[in-house]
Amino acid sequence: MTCVSGVAACRMGSGRVAPKHRIIDSSMKITLRSFLPLVAATVALLAWSTPATVQAEDAKASPTGTWTWTTPGRNGGPERKSTLKLKAEGEKLTGKVSSPGREGQTMETEISDGKIKGDELEFKVVREFNGNKFVMGYKGKIAGDTIKGKTEFERQGEKQSRDWEAKREVEKK
């Protein structure tokens, strides 16, 4: 037997007591050769599982799908629900926004200048009313099934912004 310091005493093969030592049986010794397969298996498992984790995180940050949000109604009227259908192809973002117009008519508008980089997206919605162009810019960050960000627009020559939060609709199967 081998004694290692750290224990009060141990018996040696000859019956002697060696103070302040701990016993390690020779069958318990770990050699580097016997340890390498365990290390290799651990490294392989970590390498194999990392892409799956990255793919899962990418899927969570995907803007593709249907998103909804509400805005306050005009002059204290009922809330207005908007629907955004997005599709990401690489860093390009395309889609349509549907929202209630005047007299209950639904207006559907293509988005423009859509971009996605990581979990951040941006796009514009350009509409025309009575020959006037109205541009609303959207910027947000995706976290799971929520996009939080800001909308920016110009009203009467003055730039304004509002908080914006959209929720992903669950696909009906």
Q: Which residues on adjacent β-strands are paired with residue 142?
A: 147
Hey, what CATH topology would domain 65-168 get?
Answer: Lipocalin (2.40.128)
Residues facing residue 24 across a β-bridge: 2
Number of helices (H), then strands (E), in the chain? 1, 10
Least confident interval from 33-42, 78-87, 90-99, 120-129 = 33-42
Q: How confident is the model at residue 53 (pLDDT cuts 50, 70, 90)?
A: very low
Q: Which of 95, 148, 104 is nearest to 123 (CA)?
A: 95
Q: Which residues contact 151 (CB under 8 A, 6 or more apart)?
A: 136, 137, 138, 161, 162, 164
Domain definitions of the chain by residue range: 2-60, 65-168
Judged against a pLDDT cut of 80, whether residue 30 lies above it is answered with: no
Can you read off the two tokens belonging to residue 67?
Answer: 């998103």
**pLDDT, average across residues 59-77:** 84
pLDDT of amino acid 73: 81
Span 102-121, mean pLDDT?
A: 91
What backbone torsions phi and psi does residue 73 show, to the nearest 5 degrees?
Answer: -75, 160
Residue 48 scores a pLDDT above 70: no
Query: Burial level of 136, CB count in 10 A (0-12/13-18/19+)?
Result: middle
Report the pLDDT averaged over residues 156-168: 93
The pLDDT > 90 percentage for the chain reads 43
Sign of the alpha-carbon torsion through 96, 108, 152, 159: positive
Q: What is residue 65's predicted lDDT score, i.e. its pLDDT? A: 95
Q: What pLDDT is stored for residue 116 in this prediction? A: 95
Q: What is the mean pLDDT of residues 115-119?
A: 95
Rounded to whole angstroms, how far apart are CA atoms 165 and 134? Answer: 21
Q: Does 35 have pLDDT greater than 50? A: yes
pLDDT at 75 over 90: no
